[in-house]
């Protein structure tokens, strides 16, 4: 199963692979070189397919828990001053996604979207300390009955050239449903109240819509 954001790219990649393979068959006489070209094209297609995969999962809604928005590795757990929306201290948990991770972004909590904004910016590597403030990014805040306002931020990385954000202010959203997609390497930051109990550790691998990030 593949995410809808990948349909056009997958189709284009398939056409290119078939076209170049046919040209290689016609114009490359050396069978070793011809075979190498075709194998390389197939590997390229497989990489595109795995990047846009959207595996089926049995999501369990946890009203008193915050779920990971994405697949990846926890790279930041710290108390910070969040200045875009809260202008106050919050607990930040950041998850880094490599190109081989599933890149669907999911709502960490259910509730009402009260803020959604896109910010153009740079394309620093996603683990850079300033990427959260300087890179291309989107900021979404969901008002949740248990945690109050929960902010999560999609951040483009050095390879990511497009962030897709479905959240619109005023929407009622369900936990673990699709909130967007980041193409080719990225990071998501989640900002929680200071009294939230963090349930992950640094370098822990997490799954979007499955792994518990925090609870009350």
Q: On the CB side of 65, how many CA atoms lie within 13 Å of its CA?
A: 15
Q: Which of 68, 94, 179, 186 is catalytic?
A: 186
Judge whether 69 counts as a catalytic residue.
Answer: no
Tokens representing 164?
Answer: 């897709």
Tokens 């989640």 sit at which residue?
190
Q: Which residues are catalytic?
A: 186
């Amino acid at each position: 199963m593949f995410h809808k954001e990948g349909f056009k790219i997958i189709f284009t990649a398939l056409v290119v692979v078939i076209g170049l393979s046919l040209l290689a068959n016609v114009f490359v006489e050396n069978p070793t070189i011809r075979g190498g070209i075709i194998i390389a094209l197939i590997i390229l297609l497989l990489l595109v397919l795995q990047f846009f995969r959207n595996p089926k999962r049995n999501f369990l809604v946890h009203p008193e828990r915050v779920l990971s928005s994405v697949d990846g590795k926890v790279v930041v757990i710290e108390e910070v001053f969040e200045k875009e929306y809260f202008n106050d201290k919050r607990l930040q948990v950041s998850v880094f996604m490599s190109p081989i991770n599933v890149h669907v972004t999911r709502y960490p909590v259910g509730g009402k979207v009260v803020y959604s904004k896109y910010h153009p910016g740079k394309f620093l590597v996603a683990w850079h300390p300033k990427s959260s403030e300087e890179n291309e990014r989107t900021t979404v805040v969901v008002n949740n009955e248990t945690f109050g306002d929960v902010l999560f931020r999609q951040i483009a990385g050095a390879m990511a050239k497009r962030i897709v954000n479905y959240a619109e202010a005023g929407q009622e959203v369900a936990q673990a449903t699709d909130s967007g997609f980041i193409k080719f390497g990225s990071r998501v930051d989640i900002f929680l109240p200071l009294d939230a109990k963090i349930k992950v550790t640094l370098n822990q691998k997490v799954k979007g819509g499955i792994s518990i990030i925090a609870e009350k």
